[in-house]
Amino acid sequence: LTEEYRKNLLKILSEKMEEARKTIRRWREEAWDKIQEKTKEGEIREDDKFRAKDELQDLIDEYNQKIEEIGERKKKEISS
């Protein structure tokens, strides 16, 4: 691969990784909105709301870590 082509691939990879992170943030916001709505409706207790928030954040962190790991692996493949 030419150096210019590799740079272009790395740029595309970075854009795709950012799109994935944005999608995950949007999902987190949607899930949190639903949790708050269920709390207001009395379907979820306050304790459960905060437990769900922590679990949601743990899941988001896990997926963001996977994005980073895959992205770094792909960057190495492209660069070599």
47, 34, 66, 64 alpha-carbon torsion, rounded to 10°: -90
Cα(10)–Cα(71) distance, integer angstroms:
10
- Supply the pTM of this predicted model: 0.82
Report the C-alpha gap between 3 and 10 in whole angstroms.
11
Q: What is the pLDDT of residue 28?
A: 97
**What is the pLDDT at residue 80?**
86
**What is the residue extent of each domain of the chain?**
3-79
- The domain 3-79: what is its CATH number? 1.10.132.20
Q: Which residues contact 63 (CB under 8 A, 6 or more apart)?
A: 24
Which residues, given as ranges, of the chain have pLDDT below 70?
none
Amino acid identity for residue 69 in this structure: E
Give tens-digit pLDDT for 19-34.
999 999 999 999 999 9
